[in-house]
Amino acid sequence: MTQAAQIKGKSSLLSNPYLLLVLTMLFWGGNSVAGRLAVGEISPIALTSLRWIVVGAVMFALCHNQLRVHWPALRPHRPYLLAMGIIGFTAYNALYYWAAHSTTALNINIITGVMPAMILVGALLAFGQSVRPLQWCGMIVSFIGVAVVATKGELGTLAALALNSGDLLILIASALYASYSLLLRKRPPVPSMVFFAAITPVAAISSFVLLGAEMASGQFVPPTLKGWLVLAYVAVFPSLLAQIFFIRAVEIIGSGRAGMFANLVPVFGSGLAILVLGETFATYHAVALLLVIMGILIAEYRRSGGK
C-alpha cells in the first residue's frame, strides 16, 4: 500500500466529506480576504502564478514517485489534465483577482452564490444526474442566506445592482469552476493526490503566459513583505489543502451535493473579514449563517430508504 493510500485509509478527516467541505469553504472564504489584502501588495497574475509555482513544487516533492507509477494511467488523459489545470486553477484564479479590482464585494458575493446552481444544472444537463426537489429548495434557501450576507440584511438593494466588467469576470470565473467541479467525475483512475499533483504544473506553466502579459502591460507589482505573507496563505490553504479536500469530497458524495457547500464561502469570508479586517459583527451574519446551514441540511435530507 502506498503512503497516500495509507493516509487515505487511516485518516478520519479524509473519510468525512462534510468536514472536508466545511474546511474547504473556510479556506476559500479566507481567499477573498487575502485577495483584498493583496491589493497594492502583489499584482493579480503575480499572485496567481506564484501560488501555483509553490503548490506545484510541494506536490512534486510529495508525489513524484507516485506520478511515475501512475503515469501510464495519466498519459492518455493529457488533454483532460491540461484543460483541468487551466480552467479550474489558472483561469479561475486570474479572473477572480482581476475582478476584485473592478467590482464590489457585494456583487462578488452575490454572483459567486450562483455557482451551486450552475453545478446542479450542469450535472443535470451534462450527465443526466437527477436533481431532487429538496436539493432545489435547499439551494434557494442557501442562496437567500448568501444574498442576506452580501446585502448586509437589506435585500432591497438587490434591485439596484448593475453589472460591470468585474461582475462579468466573476460570473465567467464561477462558470469555469462549476465546469471544473463537474469534470472531476471524469478524472483518470488514480489517487486524488496524484491527480492534483499532475495538474498543478499545468496551472503554473499556463499562468506564465498571463504573467508575461501583465509585465508587458506595466501592471506587474512584485510582492512586498505583506504580499509574500498573502501568497503563503493562498498557496497553503485555498490552493493546496482546499483543492485536495474538495477533490476527495467530490469523490465520496459527487459534484452536485458537494457544490451546495459553496454557499458557505461568503459566510465564512464575512466572518474572517470581521476577525482579520476588523469589520463589525451584525445580526444579518447570524441570519445568513442559519439560512445557509438550513439550506445544506434540506438539500442533504434523505427519506428512509431513499437516495
- SS3 state at 114: coil
The torsion angles phi and psi of 209, rounded to 5 degrees, stand at: -60, -50
User: pLDDT truncated to tens, each residue of the chain (307 aa)?
Assistant: 444 444 444 457 778 899 999 999 999 888 878 888 888 899 999 999 999 999 999 999 999 999 999 999 999 999 999 999 999 999 999 998 888 777 766 566 667 777 877 887 888 888 877 778 888 888 788 778 777 876 767 777 666 656 567 778 888 998 998 999 899 888 899 988 899 999 999 999 999 999 999 999 999 999 999 999 999 999 999 988 998 898 888 888 887 778 778 778 877 877 787 788 776 777 877 887 788 778 877 877 764 344 4
Rounded CA-CA distance 255/275 in Å is 31
Candidates 192, 303, 186; CA nearest to 249 is 192
* Residue 275, C-alpha cell as written in the block: 476577525
Contact 251, 91 (CB under 8 A): no
Q: What is the DSSP letter of 155?
A: G
